[in-house]
Amino acid sequence: MVSPGRFAAFAALVFVMVVVPGPSVLFTISRALTVGRRDALLTVLGNAAGVYTQVVAVAFGMGALVRTSATVFTAVKLAGAAYLVYLGVQAFRHRRRLSEAFSAAVPASPGRTLSVLRDGFVVGFANPKSIVFLAAVLPQFVSYPTGWVPVQIMLLGVSIPVVALFSDSAWALAAGGARAWFARSPRRLEFIGGTGGLVMIGLGAGLALSGRKD
């Protein structure tokens, strides 16, 4: 199976990849500022689940398909981009409701919780760049003579959501604290809600316009 040395080497690579601020961090911060700390943490959880689903997909061949097929890559890319833009538009449209939602502090219903988890999951899973990275890098840490290659990939991949949960949650908590300052003024909160929405729209547009690097 996976040796401790191989796991440690891959986990170190994952740590560098995840900790350096990128699109997922910007998305988490935007969610913390627009919908609050609690929903941002749920988004982080959903995103981690989405990324690990990519690991499972790579283990059973989908990663190679996305990496080699321009059509599949483009389809996944545009789906993820469209969903990010949709979330951004919704945040921008409802920016004036942020102060009301903040002051009301109404606990989220189970349906709301599931929808926030879904948002994070879709954005995490529909990121073609990460699945291409996983398809290219994960197999290099597998011991093929040992066998059970899909299981090895899934065991190695556990490090990705674990590191992401700690790192992205820290960003979510920090941004959630900043949101409390913005909440002291309706104009501040409206501004940050609109800005967070625009950031998500920008992330979606950037993803849609990005090309393959191969």
pLDDT recorded at residue 103: 47
Confidence of residue 106 (pLDDT cuts 50, 70, 90): very low
19 vs 25: CA distance, rounded Å: 9
pLDDT recorded at residue 7: 86
How many structural domains is the chain composed of? Answer: 1
Residue 214 in any domain: the answer is: no
pTM of the full structure: 0.68
pLDDT at 117 over 80: yes
Distance linking the first and last C-alpha atoms of the chain: 31
Q: What is the pLDDT of residues 54-78, one digit of tens each?
A: 899 888 876 566 556 677 667 766 7
208 vs 11: CA distance, rounded Å: 29
Residue 198 in any domain: the answer is: yes
Residue 145 in any domain: the answer is: yes
pLDDT recorded at residue 185: 61
Confidence of residue 104 (pLDDT cuts 50, 70, 90): very low
Residue 18 in any domain: the answer is: no
What is the sign, positive or negative, of the torsion defined by CA atoms of 105, 175, 209, 14? Answer: negative
Portion of the chain with pLDDT greater than 70, in percent = 68
Q: What is the pLDDT of residues 5-59, one digit of tens each?
A: 888 888 887 887 776 666 677 778 777 877 778 888 998 999 999 999 989 988 8
Residue 74 in any domain: the answer is: yes
Confidence of residue 162 (pLDDT cuts 50, 70, 90): very high
Residue 117 in any domain: the answer is: yes
Q: Dihedral of the CA atoms 87, 123, 48, 113 (nearest 10)?
A: 40
| Nearby residues of 32 by Cβ (< 8 Å), 6 or more positions away | 40, 171, 172, 173, 174, 175, 176, 178, 179
Domain that holds residue 57: 4-13+23-209
Closest listed residue to residue 32, CA positions, set 149, 106, 120: 120
